[in-house]
Structure 1
């Protein structure tokens, strides 16, 4: 058990704080929703009803889709684009998908290489792009959930205000939808860009996201 905790410490840590944050969001969101219900002269709802409501679904999914879009763009951008001095960048001579030898696939694979890295054809192609494809799929699903839940939540507010509800197609081109979406996107893009640039000049000893403390500012693609 001790070895398993050590070997999986990073994923367990973030998995735990994710669940705690999600629980906190659920509880505070439920309390806020009921405050607004009472202020509008409407009945309060239970926690279970709130967790299955479009209000909760849209709040969760709009954050998820922006996070996975950030990772998707970062994964593919770092294949071709470099940033001098950043540990988040590849070396200048390593841009592109790299050679089979560099990637340890096919004839250059070894006994510890995953099975689909050792074969050829569609399986190797799929496995070679599996991370980006998975991130893209999660982004699209989260975006779809956000748009559907957001449309439902928006229409509930429209009806409460004696206004006409809108279709899903109308909602996804509306200022309401894109305002909620872009306010998340801009913060994610800023965070990634800041990490790329700040890691050129700043250090965090012992972190693989940082260069060694004594590395020159223009050292590129090196980590501590």
Structure 2
């Protein structure tokens, strides 16, 4: 299943089935639509199995971003090889750009919002506009733009925090931060470690539980007042 939207004023365009409509979608992606959404599935033992619950690519210049919401019933979230391959895919997809933000995990909304947009009450358009000044959020794997990576000391300093299993600089700028070896290993302690490492560039405010998104993971502290 796949669809795209050229901008916020146009209707959504669907590509069904993707196996034969991929050429048309590829041409649309080359025109940099405002949003593209793809749902991947496979069929082990004859039963549908969702790989990604949601995959969004937003290209609101100059703040391109990506969100990959993994299915939490996949059965592979504790598989180091699968998780490494997922991160490798994200790195390959973003290596030629300096994305404003991207995340991959099981704990985000299937919308343009991030975990912090929801619990801090930030509007998406404000979050996107300020994405190179304040990191939009964080998850099991987070992509930090070069502008914020520099403020945090660069890839070496981020690796030295001990908060990340893997730190991968992108060729065009920015860095991919994998918190734990597997998605299943992204515990509350790991969430806190990521928050502590990134808090200097996170938006201010005290997170408030969002009943519409009880699955969201975040450390309940005001980043602007956090002292360790």
Q: TM-score range by the shorter chain?
A: under 0.3
Please identify the structure whose Cα radius of gyration is greater: 1
| Bigger proportion of residues as strand | 2
The TM-score normalised by the length of structure 1 is 0.22
The TM-score normalised by the length of structure 2 is 0.21
Q: Which of structures 1 and 2 has the larger relative contact order (alpha carbons within 8 angstroms, sep 6+)? A: 1
| Bigger proportion of residues as helix | 1
